Amino acid sequence: MLRICAFLMFCFLAVNADGSFYVLNAPESISFQRIPTVLPSEQVGDVIKAARGLGVSDTADFPGLVINDPFGLPQKAVVVDVVGLNELPLSEENISYKIDGKSVPASLDDLKLTSNDDASDCDINVSSFKENELINCVLKSDKEFVYAKIDLSNLKDDAEKSKEISALANELVNLQRQIDGDASSQSLLAVIVSHEDDKSSNLSRRRRETIAGSTTNTYNLAAYYDQNYPVIFNIILWFMVALGLSLLAVCYAIADMDPGRDSIIYRMTSTRMKKDN
């Protein structure tokens, strides 16, 4: 009964999905399972980070990714972000998952922020889309993380949109063949298709903020210390050490004191018997 409910829930989410996640190429060190599951949009970046061996959020839980060899993870990750579609006409042999939610842009921004180096961006304008433009941008980049964004949301004409989708699909197939044909390359090629670019993601932080420079200290020099500073520092330091040891010795002596024999206070206040002369 639980399996039937899970399958019906998957079918419902797949029909109402907000995008798709395609895996076109992956090294043998990782494998994506062909299982009926839905990928939450906020975990899209976590999947890429987990495949690269980076830390993920505590709530990340995606059963589709399996790490076979943690010492042979992909040396390069290529992410193609296609905006304006729900899916692409790619081969059914490629493993794909439906995306649920509209947090894909924010998740990808977090992925680029946690990258070891600045991501190599390949922003392609659809109006001037040229053949092999995406392939040349990806293959010529020496970065460990390559991010390519293709926006198709502005295309209103169905005939033009169909033409661009077909050209993009052929471009991705050729890119997949070239990456797969390079035996020395351990690269992950993933295609993320989202229906629309979330406008609220513009409010999120895009890059790391640097600390504003001081107007009085232009060259960011260290604080100046007087030449007597080491002497004063050593005097105060060793005085505090001596004072601490002295206090410890006094406390130990008081704790070990016998009031009846060692204390003059008890002797002076003790009552004495008067003698008769």
**pLDDT tens by residue, 86-108:** 788 888 889 999 998 888 888 88
In this predicted structure, what is the pLDDT of residue 22? 93
pLDDT score of 240 more than 90: yes
In this predicted structure, what is the pLDDT of residue 53? 84
pLDDT score of 275 more than 70: no
Domain ranges of the chain: 2-200, 229-265
Confidence of residue 221 (pLDDT cuts 50, 70, 90): confident
- 263 compared with 201, residue with greater pLDDT: 263
CA distance 157 to 165: 12
Can you name the residues that pair with 30 across neighbouring β-strands? 67
In this predicted structure, what is the pLDDT of residue 245? 97
Residue with structure tokens 């008067």? Answer: 274
CA distance 68 to 65: 10
Contacts of 114 by beta carbon, 8 Å cutoff, 6+ apart: 49, 54, 55
β-sheet with 19-25: strand ranges across: 38-40, 95-100, 19-25, 187-194, 76-83, 145-151, 120-124
Indicate the range of 39-43, 137-141, 236-240 predicted with least confidence.
Answer: 137-141
In this predicted structure, what is the pLDDT of residue 187? 87
- pLDDT tens for 225-234 read 788 888 999 9
Three state DSSP letters for the chain: CHHHHHHHHHHHHHHCCCEEEEEEECCCCEEECCCCCEEEHHHHHHHHHHHHCCCCCCCCCCCCEEECCCCCCCCEEEEEEEECCCCCCCCCCCEEEEEECCCHHHHHHHHHHCCCCCCEEEEECHHHCCCCHHHHHHHHCCCCEEEEEEECCCCCCHHHHHHHHHHHHHHHHHHHHHHHHCCCCCEEEEEEEECCCCHHHHHCCCCCCCCCCCCCCCCCCCCCCCCCHHHHHHHHHHHHHHHHHHHHHHHHHHHCCCHHHHCHHHHHHCCCCCCCC
Upper half-sphere CA count for residue 80 (Cβ side, 13 Å):
28
- 94 compared with 221, residue with greater pLDDT: 94
pLDDT score of 248 more than 60: yes
CA distance 134 to 194: 18
Confidence of residue 9 (pLDDT cuts 50, 70, 90): very low
Q: Kindly report the pTM of this predicted structure.
A: 0.63
In this predicted structure, what is the pLDDT of residue 112? 80
Alpha-carbon distances, residue 107 vs 200, 205, 206, 248 (angstroms) = 12, 11, 11, 58
- 213 compared with 25, residue with greater pLDDT: 25
pLDDT score of 184 more than 90: no
Residue with structure tokens 């922003």? Answer: 123
Q: Taking residues 5-16, what's their average pLDDT?
A: 44
Confidence of residue 6 (pLDDT cuts 50, 70, 90): very low
In angstroms, what is the C-alpha Rg of the chain? 34
Q: Taking residues 45-51, what's their average pLDDT?
A: 90
CA distance 49 to 74: 11
In this predicted structure, what is the pLDDT of residue 97? 92
Q: Hey, which of 49-63, 88-102, 143-157, 253-267 has the most confident mean pLDDT?
A: 88-102
| Under 8 Å between Cβ of 20 and 86 | yes
